[in-house]
Amino acid sequence: RIVDIHLRRQTLADLIGYYEKKWPAKRRDHFEWETLAHLYEEVGNQEKAVVAYRRATKKAPHELDTHRRLIRLLETTGREDAALKQYEAVIRIAPGEPRFQLELAERYYRKGKRKKALALLRRLESRFGSDPGVHAALADMYTRWGEEKLALKAHVRLTRIEPNEVVHLINLGEQYFQRGDRKKAIATWKRVLARRTPDNLARLGRIYAEHDMTGPALEMYGKAIRLQSKNPKLFRGRATVHERKKDWRRAVEDWQKVYQLTENKPSNKVARAEARRRIVALLKRSGRRSLNSRVAVWRRAFKSNDIDAGYFLVEAYLRQGRTKDARRTLERLRVIAPKDNET
């Protein structure tokens, strides 16, 4: 707070002078050195800031946030080698902190020190053998680096550490699929159904759809819907698969179910609007006659003050470029349903 006040008054130099006198160098502890380091940074005196941060870390070597600030400053001032050495010092001080080791490995790899990076990660694998967070980070790093064999092994380890974690099974299956082993990929994904819930069936359906296996995807969504027939999210998922297959009629049917099952309340406004957009867009794709015949139905219903029909008319008129009709319909909706969530 004191620093902020002086920043606003542009008197940081005075504050630094005050603290330097108040805290003689020989009597400064971690707090004093870190405070001064922060002030030096604020006024752009990077050299003094580095020195102060170094002195602070010596006073309290286990204050890891101070090490991190020093590393950040060294990197931003282009002293990457010094930053690497600081990382190495932190790892010696706190070998039980994997985040610094992961960051150091990343920097080794970026500087072309592949062997050093991989050796460090191997030690991490051994030291944190049952930590899913560490192994997930390793899997991500190996994947980004193109270390395919190591990435696959990391994903396999994750499924052993947390066998009931669906995300690990999905990612491992993806690893197999990307390597062209479709059989192993599908076998791995099917393990998602160890707990045969509607959510897991839908999840497997989505995976199949993303990999252009629309037949199995529809089968999974169908099974999920039979278990939970009032869940609009399941119909939405199946609708997107029908769209992939260009089966516009069935896609419209499922989107209509989404609309019907989604309660008209403020939190569902976006979901209902999406369903209307998709229904109208798919009817238009099916041909002008399909959309025109539905517009005629909505128009008749709207004459009887059917609010939903009015919203569909607005969407259809906009799709057809009939902006005046859309505006008139929306104005009438505001008259007959002034408190409706979607007007």
Q: Is 123 helix (H, G, I), strand (E, B) or coil?
A: helix
Q: Encode pLDDT of 165-182 as tens digits.
A: 999 999 999 999 999 999
Round to whole Å and give the CA distance between 136 and 134: 5
Residue stretches of the chain with pLDDT short of 70: 1-10, 341, 343
In order, the DSSP letters of 49-118 are HHHHHHHHHHH-TT-HHHHHHHHHHHHHTT-HHHHHHHHHHHHHH-TT-HHHHHHHHHHHHHTT-HHHHH
56, burial (CB in 10 Å: exposed 0-12, middle 13-18, buried 19+): buried
Round to whole Å and give the CA distance between 266 and 340: 9
- Say which residue the tokens 């940081």 belong to: 12
302-334 per-residue burial string, b: 16 or more CB within 10 A, e: under 16: beeebbbbbbbbbbbbbbbebeebbeebbeebe
The pLDDT of residue 9 is 44
Structure tokens at 220: 């999974």
Round to whole Å and give the CA distance between 270 and 259: 11
Structure tokens at 106: 């990343």
The pLDDT of residue 317 is 96
Q: Are 41 and 73 in contact (CB under 8 A)?
A: yes
Amino acid at 197: T
Residues 97, 103, 108, CA angle at the centre, nearest 5°? 125
Round to whole Å and give the CA distance between 239 and 275: 10
Which H or E run includes 301?
Answer: helix 288-303
The pLDDT of residue 289 is 87
Of 91, 17, 28, nearest to 54 by C-alpha is: 28
164-192 per-residue burial string, b: 16 or more CB within 10 A, e: under 16: eebebbbbbbbbbbeeeeeeebbebbebb
